[in-house]
Amino acid sequence: MIYLDEYRDPQAVRRMAEMIARAATKPWTIMEICGGQTHTIVKYGLEALLPRSLTLVHGPGCPVCVTPIDLIDRAVALAGTPGVILASYGDMLRVPGSRHDLRTMKARGGDVRIVYSPLDALALARKHPDRQVVFFAVGFETTAPANAMAVREARRTGVSNFSILCSHVLVPPAVRAILSAPGTKVQGFLAAGHVCTITGYEEYLPIAAEFRVPIVVTGFEPLDILDGVYRTVRQLELGTHRVENQYSRAVLPAGNRAARVLLSEVFAITDRSWRGIGMLRSSGYRLADDYAAFDAERRFSFPAPEPPEDSPCIAGLVLQGRTKPHECPAFGLRCTPDRPLGAPMVSSEGACAAYYHYRSYQPSPTFAEQNR
């Protein structure tokens, strides 16, 4: 299959791994931003193919993982509000709030519906005009255009019982925050290819120049990842710090112009709190004032935030690339996908879930055994 099998070819992967080994003469630490990239690395045992001098660390590129506790609590409150249908993607149901999660509220009788797109939630609002339907809008720039389209369509067609609880976050401010953190070890980045299909990669140019780090826009298949690592290592060895586009089959420098116009119409930039990281300036979207009528945070009142319970979860350190999931003392014992202590064990893109399912801290046989 074009663009799939050829990017999983073991011989091509082996050749790329050998190129990386020849290129890397010094120790380097590279962070992949996206949780989808993390899962490829873990599932296919790619780290086992790299020289020991190279360290891959996992960034905050899982939108479910970085959704702050207070927004989970607001979703939980909405799920318990009479006359409200809370529509959400399925993986959000198990993300822990300060006291409960959405799965618990559904079990207690809350009207929580799993949907596959914001347009499904909009259809629910049309079907139930006597109910308030709230879509839990979570994601990076990748999912934001679909949510913007749903809001604009609701206004165009006069669906007044539809709103969104917005938890959109933006990748470039997170990259800047990681590089600005004291003691950061990250020396290069694999940027998320699907985000850049929307935004392009021009926003990364000043970051690469300011912090003197290479940033390589990278796809999600095994060969994509290794090619991105190779390009990053080559720049590190040469002392350069450019933005490169490994994912040129999908990403243009300016991204998707139509999607960006839509985003600028429906959303406005705002400060946003990231779970495990904290408040980052200008790092998220909120609904623009022209669309404020569809903002669930303005439409509903919410109880004061509760202090979170003590937890041994070290998700914040994992999301910042400061530790690996299996180094957490609760990993696989007190914290499992069935009983998660933190969001990275919940999401299909979470690093902890990837380590739990694929056990990447031991070499994976998928490629490692074939290519020895």
pLDDT tens-place string over residues 158-175: 999 999 999 999 999 999
Q: How many CA atoms lie within 13 A of 194 on its CB side?
A: 17
**Ranges in the chain annotated CATH 3.40.50.11750:** 5-61+171-245
User: Options 3.40.50.11740, 3.30.390.10, 3.30.450.40, 3.30.1330.90; which CATH number does 65-170+255-298 get?
Assistant: 3.40.50.11740
Structure confidence by residue, pLDDT tens digits, 176-220: 999 998 888 999 999 999 999 999 999 999 999 999 999 999 999
Q: Is the pLDDT of residue 309 over 90?
A: no
User: Which is higher by pLDDT, 353 or 215?
Assistant: 215
Q: How far apart are CA 9 and CA 239, in angstroms?
A: 31
Pick the closest to residue 197 from 259, 151, 110 (CA basis).
259
CA distance 293 to 160: 8
pLDDT over 90 percentage in the chain: 69
For residue 119, give the H/E element and its range: helix 118-127
- Asked whether residue 372 carries a pLDDT value surpassing 80, the answer given is no
Ranges of CATH 3.40.50.11740 domains, the chain: 65-170+255-298
Quickly state the pLDDT bin for 306 (edges 50, 70, 90).
low
Angle at alpha carbon of residue 62, lines to 91 and 53, rounded to 5° = 135
Alpha helices (H) in 181-308, listed in sequence order: 193-199, 204-211, 222-238, 257-266, 296-299
**What's residue 371's pLDDT?**
38
Instruction: Work out the average pLDDT over 61-85.
Output: 92
Q: Residue 372: exposed, middle, or buried by beta-carbon count in 10 A (0-12, 13-18, 19+)? A: exposed
pLDDT in tens, 90-107: 989 988 888 889 999 999
Average pLDDT over residues 215-236: 97
Q: Which of 232-246, 291-305, 327-341 has the highest mean pLDDT?
A: 232-246
Q: Output the CATH code of domain 5-61+171-245.
A: 3.40.50.11750
Packing angle between helix 35-43 and helix 351-358, nearest 10 degrees? Answer: 10
Amino acid, res. 46? L
- Give percent helix, percent strand, percent coil of the chain, each to the nearest 5: 45, 20, 35
Mean pLDDT throughout 354-367?
A: 58
Q: Does the structure show a pLDDT above 50 at 240?
A: yes
Where residue 308 falls among pLDDT bands split at 50, 70, 90?
low
* pLDDT computed for residue 325 by the predictor: 86
Q: Chain-centre distance of CA 285, in angstroms?
A: 15
pLDDT tens-digit readout, 108-157: 999 999 999 999 999 999 999 999 999 999 999 999 999 999 999 999 99
What was the pLDDT predicted at 310? Answer: 61
Question: For residues 62 and 201, which has the higher predicted lDDT (pLDDT)?
Answer: 201
Residues in the chain: 372
What proportion of the chain, given as a percentage, has pLDDT over 70? 93
- Rounded to a whole number of angstroms, the distance between the first and last alpha carbons of the chain is 26
| pLDDT score recorded for residue 365 | 39
Among residues 20, 22, 31, 28, the alpha carbon closest in space to that of 53 is found at 28
78 pLDDT tier (thresholds 50, 70, 90): very high
